[in-house]
Amino acid sequence: MGVIGVLALQGGYQAHERALAEVGHRTVRVRYASEFPTLDGLVLPGGESTTMFKLLALEGLEQSLDAYVRSGRPVLATCAGLILAARTAVGPAQRSFGWLDVDVRRNAWGRQLDSFQATADDTDLPLMFIRAPRIERVGPGVETVLRYHGEPILVRCGPIFGATFHPELTDDRRVHRQVFGPAS
């Protein structure tokens, strides 16, 4: 894989850059529409989803981002990124792009003070939840990759992955490797 872009308008993009570098990928901070064609993969990081939408509109990135994600290249959408990618986002209701046929409830794992670490069901993969969304419905074309207490927390539809947790905030790089493959 060549260059992985990390949407860098707001939120936790630096931790994804470190995680990707640790598995050998080159990264670029994506802030302009002209950068999308140069990417081989993209991360939509955590942060504040309503602010991200405002900044995407302000910077004129919505159309280019939508075209990129629909192009079939790998995408990892974590936390607020998953809210952007979902078919429907509620709690409160918010616009989303609909790339993943899932419904999410914003901040459903609790407030910032309720952040916690855990381990995924049936594996030793460490999880970090920070004001994370919960996936309330998974559409028929979406695969549940990981669960926590039986709930879907990592889903996939083709090359698009959505995580309710923050894999970039642990020392485990399995999720980044799964989405983007080995560095070339």
Positions annotated as catalytic residues are 79, 166, 168
Going by C-alpha positions, the residue among 129, 111, 127 that lies closest to residue 119 is 127
The Cα–Cα gap between 27 and 20 comes to 7
The two tokens of residue 45 are 């990081």
Residue whose C-alpha is closest to residue 135's, from 160, 175, 165, 172: 165
Name the H helices within 59-136.
62-69, 80-85
